[in-house]
A and B are shown apart, each in its own frame.
Chain A
Amino acid sequence: MKVAFVVFNKGTDTYGVRLLTSILRKEGHDVSLNFPFELGDYADELFQDVDENKLSKLIDVIDGADIVLFSLLTSYYIKQAYYYTKAIKEKLAIPVVWGGSHCIADPEGSFGQHDIICPGEADICLPEFLKSYEKTKKIPTDIPGMWVRKGDKEFKTGMPEIYENLDEVPFPDCSYTNNFEWDSKAGNFIDMDVQDANLKKTHIYTTMTRGCVYKCTFCLHSTMNFGMKGIRRHSVDYMMREFEYLSEQFPNLRNIGLADSDLYLLPKRFLFDFINQYKKRVNKPFYFSVSPATWKDDVSEAFFNSGLVTSVWIGIQGASDKMKKYYGRNMDKNDKIVDISKQLREYYKKHGSESFYHMIWDSKVEEEEDYIENVKLMNQMRQPFELRNHSLSVLPGTEIFESEVGHSERAILKSGAEEDILKTVAFYTDQYSGGDAGTVRTELTSYYVSLANICSLITIPEKILDYLFVNHKYKLIRKLEKTLYSSNRRISLLRKATYLFFNRPDDFKRIIEGRIKNFKRRKFGKNQILTTYPDPNRLP
């Protein structure tokens, strides 16, 4: 059977789709992956009007497929997904299935917006669905985990069967065969050059676990029904074999991202075994996420002293007790965060491992006192460190949806009516803040974000901070922030360049050439979040 994936997130790091590709190819299906958005800054394009030329070219590329599968990694793809689906159905008259986080997090909403969805993990139910469809030429309505609407009849078949033992799942397919990427210069979809793609690939994400045990009130994970409590994990041996496969596939791979929400949730024995095996069998730089609550000194020592950790990502979200409780993160204590920052500073000095702390701003319930607590915490932590500030985006199904957005929006977001879809698109467009390179919503928030950014680089004496909390010196603080940001960026780049020059001259040459070619002076918009976010590809 000819199966065409349409994938909105950028090209090569599509873990879920590549995993399903692997499963479906093993079942004998002819699978293609189609990427309508180019690598790079593509986020704004998601909310623009659909590019009719591109859409028509996509339809040409997937013409001949028996079924189209849309991967909606986030709800922000809703606009493109809706219009692409409509056009594919009209022009090709073949079924379109929606899956991915958008459907898993908000099954009712996505089933309102579309007539065939997979609201869970598709590893088992999707092959069954395709098998039945191939055999009967009719859309099956009895496969658990594949919800279908035919006319007025709805077949909500519950949650899919899932792999309890993750080691039964094959490795994601990273062959890049039959992958078509939109190329704006060519004005068409280009069949990826497999050899070139493999050589270019220097960084990849993978994951050791599925599920998340936390109940963070803003997070889609807390709404997802994984069919079982807790987290499931691969064995250490499986992961080592996957890393070996990836290293073989990508000869220039030099940074592996572990996308698990909190690596330290795994048992200590597993973590020690992991790092020992990793050093012996893989020995490539990697990065991961942890939460302050689960930070363990002895595990960290083993991980960081391996000399392989390029960075660690830590979610703080909010510093005040009120916001910690509101976000469901009251287990993350500020004292511990300060202590972790001191340890990480030492690891940075010793091994160059960078640390990124994530903060959320802009909640409706957040008050100036909460902002002040955030800044005070940053000022207590061991500087300098990388701070990533995010404006809160609220998504349906999350616990804070109603307190942030209100109940009335929910009905619209579940509706498939054309006029409601437009409202749904407007809702998601409004919620999308551009992540940690976006903007915050008010000038007051922006002021405190700037102060926090300054405190991530230098310690401000308490008396001066207290003065700045009472007297809002917007222009002064913004100017200081920009100056420090630019200086820090230059120092950081210089440090990385020096490292590369002496250790990896080929990479140094390639990056410098790329920088010269793509150089553009940065302009900072009003309320724009400044961040020293480095591209993982460019990390030493």
Chain B
Amino acid sequence: MTYLVGENCIRCKLGDCVEVCPVECFHEGPNMLVIDPDECIDCGICVPECPLDAIFSEDEIPDGQEKFLEINKELTQIWPLIYEAPKRPEDADDWREVKDKFKYLER
């Protein structure tokens, strides 16, 4: 089992999760973070850290976000591994409450 980053992260990318991950398994894309499922140790420490509730367990994926399991797997291979919280997008707060953000995902 693994944890994965879902839709709420898109265009927000706050990065509190990166700070607490004990195994450094977050990768950074242009406007979202993903978790490397092969490195994740299933500890769940990152879940309560995310103010956007963007991280969930593989067996508790919210309806409609099933595709993010594959997206996390796929983009981990492309995006660089990060060790510290990334710089927050300046307009991150404007996107917190926005729904259906999948269309804004930049690869």
Q: Which residues of B contact A266 (CB under 8 A)?
A: 22
Chain A residues 243 to 281 lying within 8 A of chain B, measured CB to CB, are: 262, 264-269
| Contact A331 to B20, CB < 8 A, known contacts A229-B47, A229-B48, A230-B47 | no
- Chain A residues near B42: list those with CB within 8 A: 215, 331
Docked CA distance A13–B6 (Å): 45
Q: B19–A293 contact, CB under 8 A?
A: no
Please give, as numbers and ranges, the residues of chain B lying within 8 Å of A262 by CB-CB distance: 22
List the B side residues contacting A213 at CB < 8 Å.
Answer: 43-45
Contact A214 B43 (CB under 8 A): yes
Cβ of A294 < 8 Å from any Cβ of B?
Answer: yes
Chain B residues positioned under 8 Å from A293 (CB to CB): 22-23, 41
Is A491 positioned at the interface, with any CB of B under 8 Å from its CB? no
Known: A229-B48, A230-B47. A269 touches B19 (CB 8 A): yes
Give complex CA distance A296, B24 in Å: 9
Which residue of A229, A230, A269, A296 has the most chain B CB atoms within 10 A of its CB atom?
Answer: A230
Question: Which B residue sits closest to A298, measured CB to CB?
Answer: B83
What is the CB-to-nearest-CB distance from A441 to chain B, in angstroms, rounded to a whole number? Answer: 31
Taking a contact as CB atoms under 8 Å apart, the answer to whether B19 and A265 are in contact is no
Q: Chain A's nearest CB lies how many Å from the CB of B49?
A: 9
Are B41 and A230 in contact, CB atoms less than 8 angstroms apart?
no
CB atoms of A267 and B19 under 8 A apart: yes
Q: Which residues of B contact A215 (CB under 8 A)?
A: 42
Cβ contact within 8 Å between A230 and B22: no
A294/B48 in contact, CB under 8 A: no
Chain B, residue nearest A267 (CB): B20
Binary interface encoding of chain A residues 311-350 relative to chain B, with 1 for a CB under 8 A from any of its CBs, else 0 = 0000000000000000000010000000000000000000
In the assembled complex, which residues on chain B have CB atoms less than 8 Å from the CB atom of A267?
A: 19-20, 22
B19 lies within 8 A of A230 (CB): no
Q: Choose one: A231, A268, A296, A331; the contact of B41 (CB below 8 Å).
A: A331
One digit per residue, 1 when the CB lies within 8 angstroms of any chain A CB and 0 when it does not, for chain B 80-102 equals: 00010000000000000000000
Q: Provide the bound-state CA to CA distance between A61 and B94, in Å.
A: 67
Residues on A lying within 8 angstroms of B by beta carbon are 213-215, 229-231, 262, 264-269, 293-294, 296, 331
